[in-house]
Structure 1
Amino acid sequence: METEKFAELVKKMRESSKKRNFEQAVELSVIIRGVDTKKPEGRISGEVFLPHVPGRPARVALFAEGELARAGREAGADSVISRDEIAKMGADRKLVKKFADDHDFTLAQADLMVLIGKSLGQVLGPRDKMPRPVPPTANIRGMIERLRKTVKFRAKDQQAVSVKIGVEGMDDQQLTENARAAFEAIKQKVDEKKGEVVKLIMKTTMGKPVKMV
């Protein structure tokens, strides 16, 4: 789909949205058909790396010790959790829930994955917050910076996949580029399920939805 069509959708969204006393989020919804999202095999989910940070950068936690922990702190990880802290967290379910709510993505030193699964998995797993392992030779700064611009999307039991692409304070070009990237990632998942995109809807938090067929 041409970039110009996304630019026009952003323009229409601006025109239909009234100014509020807070900065509104901008959401893109992809309406689909031909996929039974009520069935497990039809559920669509994934994540997309956006060209521009969609307002608030994603918060990233790192489970690590030693050199990797030091590198993670220097790279700006929002939280760095040691082996001992994992065990302490596991004894307090409320603390684990708060941790999950406070972070969008988690990374972990490979040899801590089993401990994390045993101690925190019951809470992190259902919330899709289980960490992805960090390879020994990985560029941890690059991994964290990439996740800052990454957003998740999911459609469980409805014929729409929605994702936040930014905030109204971003310029039109940034929103246009984020919208196109998000659409392409979602469409790829829809195509894998043999589904079809019907239309796109864009809106601000309190704004009127505008559509592109």
Structure 2
Amino acid sequence: MPITKEMLVQAVEKAVSHKHANFKETVELIIVLRDVNVKELGGKVRETVFLPKGRGKERKVCVVADGEMAERARQAGAHMVLTPADLQGMTKKNAKKIADTCDWVLVKTDLMAVVGRTLGPALGPRGKAPVPVPPGSDMVALMNRFKNAVLARLKDQPQVMTSIGTADMKPEDLAENALAVISAVETKLPQGVANIDKVIVKTTMGIPVEVRGV
């Protein structure tokens, strides 16, 4: 049965109805798959999803660039701007610190190779692959998009789990974000929605709530 917005709203409302922590909890979406080969699909189900209603908490977007592009990134509000000079002689410890700090790392295309050598070993294990960006890109638009982006990917288990916002957001907005993620994942599955066994919504400290029909 296709997942509808109404079904998601009901599940979200139930998931966030009780306060579980004294901090702003994240709302997570879990898509459990069936009849799929995780090893075959592992590298294929890896989608950057731009949430239509935002994340409730902006992600930290960092940029690796030089010249005019680096300046435009600073003006656009990048959390951190690194130049080739910053990468020279970078220690593993500093690379890990940057990887922990930055949620997304946008890289000027001709600098991808050096980023792969210096930051790649720290970014890879954290699931934060650098994103190549052409030199003439609109940095303001990119910043705004990636601040509200999440990564939906399949790892070693037949499920995809990612954030769709925070518990203080409207259930309708969280439902729309969830639909965007589900739609993106469906396009990468061999049989589309038929490969989705169930969909679950939960808050950081909350109990999982399965999305069901009325």
Partner amino acid for 2:60? Answer: R
Partner amino acid for 1:176? Answer: A
TM-score of the two chains, using structure 2 as the length reference: 0.88
Report the CA distance between 1:6 and its aligned residue: 1.5
Q: Distance in 2 between matches of 1:18 and 1:124?
A: 33
Give the equivalent residue in structure 2 for 1:139: 138
Give the equivalent residue in structure 2 for 1:111: 110
Partner amino acid for 1:77? Answer: A
Partner amino acid for 1:138? Answer: S
Name the Cα RMSD after superposition. Answer: 2.0
Which 5+ residue runs of structure 2 have no aligned equivalent? none
Q: Distance in 2 between matches of 1:126 and 1:86?
A: 19
TM-score of the two chains, using structure 1 as the length reference: 0.88
Partner amino acid for 1:71? Answer: R
Q: Distance in 1 between matches of 2:178 and 2:118?
A: 38
Report the CA distance between 1:206 and its aligned residue: 1.6
Q: Residue 41 of structure 2 contacts residue 154 of structure 2 at CA under 8 Å; is this kept in 1?
A: no
Q: Residue 95 of structure 2 contacts residue 118 of structure 2 at CA under 8 Å; is this kept in 1?
A: no
Q: Distance in 2 between matches of 1:84 and 1:184?
A: 41
Report the CA distance between 1:164 and its aligned residue: 0.8
Q: Distance in 1 between matches of 2:108 and 2:147?
A: 19
Matched, 1:80 2:81: yes
Q: Distance in 1 between matches of 2:193 and 2:4?
A: 22
Q: Residue 35 of structure 1 contacts residue 194 of structure 1 at CA under 8 Å; is this kept in 2?
A: no
Give the equivalent residue in structure 2 for 1:7: 9
Q: Distance in 1 between matches of 2:143 and 2:29?
A: 24
Give the equivalent residue in structure 1 for 2:209: 210
SS at the partner of 1:164?
Answer: strand
Q: Residue 69 of structure 2 contacts residue 136 of structure 2 at CA under 8 Å; is this kept in 1?
A: no
Partner amino acid for 1:94? Answer: K
Report the CA distance between 1:127 and its aligned residue: 3.3
Report the CA distance between 1:35 and its aligned residue: 0.8
Deviations 1:104-162 (A, max 9, x none): 11112223222222333333334343422221321111111111111012222222211
Report the CA distance between 1:192 and its aligned residue: 6.5
Q: Distance in 2 between matches of 1:203 and 1:124?
A: 27
SS at the partner of 1:186?
Answer: helix
Which 5+ residue runs of structure 1 have no aligned equivalent? none
Q: Distance in 2 between matches of 1:205 and 1:194?
A: 26
Overall identity of the aligned pairs, in %? 38
SS at the partner of 1:80?
Answer: strand
* Aligned residue runs from structure 1 range 150-189, under 5 A: 150-189=149-188
Report the CA distance between 1:45 and its aligned residue: 2.5
Give the equivalent residue in structure 1 for 2:23: 22
Report the CA distance between 1:63 and its aligned residue: 1.0
Report the CA distance between 1:194 and its aligned residue: 9.1
Deviations 1:40-92 (A, max 9, x none): x2213222110122132111111112211111001011111111101132xx1
Report the CA distance between 1:7 and its aligned residue: 1.5
Q: Distance in 2 between matches of 1:79 and 1:86?
A: 13
Deviations 1:7-27 (A, max 9, x none): 122222233x33432221111
Q: Distance in 2 between matches of 1:159 and 1:114?
A: 32
Q: Distance in 2 between matches of 1:118 and 1:184?
A: 34
